[in-house]
Amino acid sequence: MPRAKRLILTGTPPYDQDYITNHKNRQVMAGCGPVAALIMMSYYDRRHGYRRLIPSREEMTSGMPKNILLKLRKKMKTSYYGIKGRDKQWYGLTLPGFFRSGLRSYIKDFYDVRTYSKASTGFNTLKGVFEKSVELLDQGKVHVMLLDYGKKKMWRKGGRIIDFPTHYVVVVGYNKSGRKNELVVNNGLGDNFEIIDMKDKGIKPARIYWISMKDEADGARDAHDIGPDCNYKWSGGNLIPDGINWGKSDKAYSYIRNSEIKKCIWYK
């Protein structure tokens, strides 16, 4: 059987970062670190049945689950900062070490978990990070990546500029066809897919985070709704990824019958 050249795991809700009100009644940006953690945990809840990660009262069909995000912000020590000249606009900064420890602390309130990371520092390279991501995705594991945004130095969404050079995203796919080293991400800005070129040295340092659940799931693997609608386009059961010129997938294996949670593969 041919090996996948391109792959996408579907089923991560496309949350769009937004402001939430904290305990001091201040409007603050949810923060890309907590939002990325929320997206990844939603996948583990929907696909694997770890139902306590996203309590049922927080399984909103749209919008941001404020209580979860505030708890994640606290555990990740996400700090507030403002931008000069922009009145009352506050953003969230989560340091790499605090992201990992905060993610572990949140999940450990419910389940035994191990957290891991790999970065393009020391003896590691961007290629090494890419290859580890490919390995994880082949195993069906979505994961989080922290990176610079290359030469652009900022993210754009709906015509507005999101003023931060580094950003946490959720890795859901890869493209290694034609000697490409590209990762497909759910960018936490409301989009299902965006391409990150892992040959662009401007994104360094890049760091990925993944988890291994040691406790058994306590709920059904039922692909129930969490967060905003993914709005995938399907043709004959195969994915046509929005925003990516790949055409439809050659195969789409359902992890859960009659659900959008699938492993979509292209062989060229």
What's the CATH code of the domain at 167?
3.90.70
pTM of the model: 0.92
Q: Domain range for residue 217?
A: 6-266
The answer to the question of residue 21 being in a domain is yes
Q: How many domains does the chain divide into?
A: 1
The answer to the question of residue 1 being in a domain is no
What CA–CA distances, in Å, run from 145 to 87, 113, 196, 260? 30, 18, 11, 23
Q: Return the structure tokens found at 122.
A: 């020391």
The answer to the question of residue 169 being in a domain is yes
pLDDT attached to residue 154: 47
The answer to the question of residue 96 being in a domain is yes
pLDDT tens column, 140-194: 999 999 998 654 544 444 444 444 558 899 999 999 999 999 999 999 989 999 9
The answer to the question of residue 161 being in a domain is yes
Region of poorest pLDDT, from 26-30, 109-113, 210-214, 235-239: 26-30
Q: Which residue has the higher pLDDT, 8 or 157?
A: 8
The answer to the question of residue 131 being in a domain is yes
- As a whole number of angstroms, the distance between CA 17 and CA 69 comes to 11
The answer to the question of residue 192 being in a domain is yes
pLDDT attached to residue 153: 47
pLDDT, average across residues 113-120: 96
